[in-house]
A = this chain, B = another copy of it.
Amino acid sequence: MQQYPSQLLERAVEAFSQLPGVGRKTALRLVLHLLRQSTEDVDSFADAVIRVKHDVKYCKVCHNISDNEVCSICSDPRRDGSVVCVVENIQDVMAIENTQQFHGLYHVLGGIISPMDGIGPHDLEIESLVERVEEGTVKEIILALASTMEGDTTNFYISRKLKDTGVKLSVIARGISVGDELEYTDEVTLGRSILNRTPFES
């Protein structure tokens, strides 16, 4: 067991080592880095952490992180409210926004169904998605979850829940990544990319 020369140091290292992917050695390095910064910088760091936890809101429409009751995407009149893209988390919203290919709205589930991790449908924002569709303005739901067993399970669960609403359901294309060589692509992905081939556009 590592001996720290100071209780305060040990407590700070302990706090940082609770973060994902941060071990005690890295935590110590981060704390010693902060000790070398000015008091104002460190106070500002701590204040940013406190503020984001206390003051951040979740959009009541799409459950994305937001500074207001309704997020900047949901309140943007230029966006198409008839198409809703269902994603697992906030990072996925940012990833899709970065592509600049999607102009509809989002619905953040807050996770995917994963019995192994004890996450069931009721821990996710699926009920609110159904309510949103039942309001009638949404014409198409795009399921943009990970291409894993958990993602497929969640897709299946949502499709069952939305069956009676008559909304159009689609799933993002799965195939070989841009820049990938065929010989190094796994057979399931390659098989799907042949089955789901699209018309060639020159």
Contacts and interface: CB of A to CB of B under 8 A. Distances in A.
Contact of A49 (B28, B29, B42, B57): B42
A90 B32 contact: yes
A190 interface: no
A15 B45 contact: yes
A148 interface: no
Copies of this chain in its oligomeric complex: 2
Given A5-B65, A19-B30, 11 more contacts: A2-B94, A3-B98, A6-B57, A6-B65, A12-B48, A19-B34, A32-B91, A34-B49, A35-B65, A43-B50, A46-B50
A51 interface: yes
Contacts of A11: 48, 51-52
A57 B90 CA distance: 40
Nearest to A1: B98
A11 B93 CA distance: 18
B5 A93 contact: yes
A3 B53 contact: no
B8 A35 contact: no
Contacts of A89: 32
Given A20-B30, A30-B19, A56-B35, A6 B66 contact: yes
